Structure 1
């Protein structure tokens, strides 16, 4: 498990603990079945149990842990049903987002996306997978901002925690960063041309990669998955 303990005093404690634990689970640092103790986490961050309890509730809402009254909390297996449903909803939202963005994007926003793609290239060349993972999210978040629909990204954020576990497990050999970057460039090229049909198709192809990779990841790590 990551040993990060420093919290920013200017930000809500429960949200920070949630983000750190979410990252640890998504990055496969905490395997399925691992018990999570409110007491241990409160000691780790030197806080009371209340913000830890609130972080646990958010993790449970995102499908990452299960809270069992009187028995403790445990990291969930990856739910194939949640992955499939999450992929379906994310595709519907992001295809609509990029169609709208194609009619709204300006030169400054094109530059912002291009800069992100350059940073993705650097992260890949330096084998900084965690940085690439974050830049990938920032790329998609920026698309929602260009479409002037923050709610789109907020909704995706709330449903994609389970999907992200599969994404992270696939980065090293199935859905390689090189391939994902090429697909990001295809999305960007269509946006530059303000071609709504082309950018929607490019996004559909990009997000379909997750649906394909989950079956291969399950074959390699069957004990991490449940059919529920």
Structure 2
């Protein structure tokens, strides 16, 4: 297991860096679902004391990414289909509202940045670089939320997205998935560039539901990562 305070976790307090590093390790399944977590081991891996690790685990518990069980320990949660559905509901509500405003407010500089992001996505797709693509995907959605003038929409969406992000990350290596994602991103950005809130919302809503449409396939491919379905 290799967990480090990497680029995505750089900056900010030690507490925030540890939280981001552990969250990324869970989302990417480097810390796989069901794994028992040791504060001492994680602190040693990250080169920090146990205090920021303990605080990070509490934050991750609040996001339903870890479970702290008295007398038993702390575990990475299994992926919950209910959690995925909840996250998708929250994300769709927040980001679709935000993109309507973004379509009305985006100026030339902002649109140029969105196009540059899409060009970088093309390069990542051509190289088969899922990790680079994932960072660009996140940056694009964040930029669209910020263009609305309500940056909190992204913060709230991200905090709710844990289980959904885990499924999305498992989907990235699937054949054709990156290409489909880039094509849908282009439709979203084109609608924003056209200043068409209705088309932008429709394109984004369709895009955000893409992960849910493949949930059954991902669950079948990784059955040990998921909770058993409720009777």
Q: TM tier, shorter chain?
A: over 0.9
Distance 2:5 2:97 in 1: 39
8 Å contact from structure 1 (residues 79, 162) kept in 2? yes
1:179 paired with 2:176, answer no
Name 1:106's counterpart in structure 2.
Answer: 107
Distance 1:3 1:102, change over 3 A: closer
CA RMSD of aligned residues (A): 1.8
1:2 paired with 2:9, answer no
Using the size of structure 1 for normalisation, the TM-score is 0.94
169-178 or 20-29, larger mean C-alpha shift: 169-178
Name 1:150's counterpart in structure 2.
Answer: 151
1:41 paired with 2:42, answer yes
Distance 1:67 1:199 in 2: 41
8 Å contact from structure 2 (residues 3, 25) kept in 1? no
Distance 1:220 1:5 in 2: 30
1:160 paired with 2:157, answer no
Shift in Å at residue 195 of structure 1?
0.7
8 Å contact from structure 1 (residues 174, 213) kept in 2? no
1:126 paired with 2:165, answer no
8 Å contact from structure 1 (residues 175, 209) kept in 2? no
Instruction: For structure 1, list consecutive stretches of 5 or more residues without a partner in the other structure.
Output: none
1:16 paired with 2:51, answer no
Q: Deviations over 1:70-93 (max 9, x none)?
A: 321111100110100110111111
Distance 2:59 2:176 in 1: 28
Shift in Å at residue 119 of structure 1?
1.0
Distance 1:131 1:9, change over 3 A: closer
Using the size of structure 2 for normalisation, the TM-score is 0.93
1:205 paired with 2:167, answer no
63-72 or 102-111, larger mean C-alpha shift: 63-72
User: What SS class does the counterpart of residue 138 from structure 1 fall into?
Assistant: helix
Q: Segments of 4+ in structure 1 off by > 3 A?
A: 5-10
1:62 paired with 2:63, answer yes
8 Å contact from structure 2 (residues 10, 17) kept in 1? no
User: What SS class does the counterpart of residue 33 from structure 1 fall into?
Assistant: coil
Q: Deviations over 1:158-203 (max 9, x none)?
A: 0011111100111111671110000000001111110111111100
Instruction: For structure 2, list consecutive stretches of 5 or more residues without a partner in the other structure.
Output: none
Count residues in correspondence.
Answer: 228
Distance 1:162 1:136 in 2: 17
Distance 1:9 1:95 in 2: 30
8 Å contact from structure 2 (residues 3, 21) kept in 1? no
User: What SS class does the counterpart of residue 94 from structure 1 fall into?
Assistant: helix
